[in-house]
Structure 1
Amino acid sequence: MIFLLTNTGYIKYYPLLFNKGLPLYYTIGPCFYLYLKGELNPELSKFKKKHLLHFILIIPALFSVMPYNLLDTEQQQLIVNRVARDFQYAFSTEKYIVEPWHWFTLPLSALTYSILQMRLTYIFARQKKNIKTVRWAYFFSGMLTLIFSGMLVLNVVILRNSNDAYFILHRSPLILSLAFIFLLLSLSFFLNPQTIFGLSDKLNQSDILNNTGSDSEDITNSEKRKIRPVDEKLIEQVEQQIMEKEIFKQVGLTMSELAAQLDIPNHKLSDLFNKHYQSNFNTHINNLRIDYVKKRLDSGDWKQYTLEAIALEAGFSSRNTFFVAFKKIMDKSPSAYLADIKNK
């Protein structure tokens, strides 16, 4: 938006927006890279302190925009008025304009991360895992590579021909090419919104209808939409991990951790909980924990336990979260439930 305002001269009406976006632009490449890395390998989805190094270029960007943003409102207005009159001024080396080298390093850093994304996808593909995820990752990374390559070429051309910057940005075929790529990428997201968070297995309606036999005539259209294929093997894996190993008692258990233990993508596990268990991950785990607590209390095994000890033993991180979950599921507090047991 800031680029469009500057390009059209309307930035003079919004001086507070000028020289604001540069630090954020440097986060685009690293964010896409870390996102894809976590999507391909759930074990690497957690953000760690060392990942902050990916955003190191934000620091010089902040220093670059600081002189302008330290000006008072009147002085900022003078700067943007000049930019509106003389577009070439936006690419100058003046004190209150960001240094020209940012126009080179910004798309170059983003392009580097896009290439690293392609490398991650290649490594993932060699492991012969989900082919749909591989195709999505290649498409996603490929489109970003084209976009950032075009931006790099465009910015280099502008820096070398700053006198013709206005003409280049308004009539260059490269601008039309970039616009077409953006349109193609946006259209793909519109037609396949699941692409944004990874490709999940799609429902094959024809297979389902073929397997329903003569009973298919009795199924309404709304019921057909509710039918979902079930991965029995995955369900068995999840049940074994959660129930037999009682992993639900692990304090702070997350879906990412369970997905990593099962070596499956986050979205696939989330899809299973939504479709098969008809609930989200946290709700299902809390139901198991409360059921576990109820059985222990009914048997008298925990009659000497405090409520805090019961909460921790069942996998809740605190007494408060235990109380909230118990009241929601049992429609009474743990204390009231214990009182009912004693009165029996």
Structure 2
Amino acid sequence: MIQSNQLLFFFSALGAFNGFLLSLYFAINAKNKKFTNYFLSLLLLVLSIRIVKSVFFYFNPHLSNIFIQIGLSACVLIGPFLFLYLKSVMENEKPNWKIHVIPYLTAITIIGFFYPYVEHHEVWSRWIVNAIYFQWFIYIALSLKYLWPVILKLKKKESLQKLDFWFLSIYLGVAFIWLAYNFALYTSYIIGALSFTFILYLIVLLLIFRKSSDSTFFHEKKKYQNKEIDKKMLDEIGQKLSILIEKEAFLNSNFTLEEAANELKITKHLLSQYVNEILGKSFSNLIKEYRIEKAKQLLETEKNYTIESLGYDCGFNSKSSFFTAFKKITGLTPAEYQKSSLK
């Protein structure tokens, strides 16, 4: 192996190894951000497994076919974990991870059992790998929704917060690696260099943000400690929030804490503190309650609505999230509530 190849191998393998360490770091520190860090940890883990396979396969073509199969199979979870991480962070609630992980994990396990890579190279290269990369792309596209607030900031030339940079880096890093796998002529060379750069960049970002004295990066402070809102501000926030609710801004499915704070011309932290301390609930639960109240009104007065379309019109992103929230808040399904209201 010539010297340049040795250097390439070293830095490529180092990038993947650092990815494993970073994955372990976030898994250990998951308690600081509840479930969100678990998704980030698993994203980095499956990404590192795939990168290790590419790097070592290039330098050792006789690599065990089982290892190759594991490396390729790991790709089926990269997209879902990227989506789950961004969704859990932006919506500040635990998503239903099972529907995004278990079906794919089951499917790739069954396919691997009946069509092992060692006996079906052509099937894997022609169909299975292409299907995995297509699924990965779909989740990259779906994840873009949760970066939209950051994109709007860039369009408006607003300053980005530390976490905005972090989320953008995660998303773009995964997207560029997908592009390299799909369009690069010398995949192993590019992925090795790109993965090393990506992981190193994340580590540098993490170190910078963690050392920042005013940063709450990946840590939850004791909520609102020593920061009481004066009565005048309480009244002002209450009045502005009432106006916002009357305008039914919550019917927008993308209505977030940040958007509400911008409308009220206060900080996100101040609005979150008000909702938590004065109203006694989280912002996401508050919005859900208003959406369910709107849904109840429509169920009582409108007969031409389908229950599914009603959920979307009330601001929910899916039928399942609408049904779950409605049942949790009212104790009834939408259909049951509609029947009871007509009696």
Same fold (TM over 0.5): no
TM-score by length of 2: 0.40
Structure showing greater Rg: 1
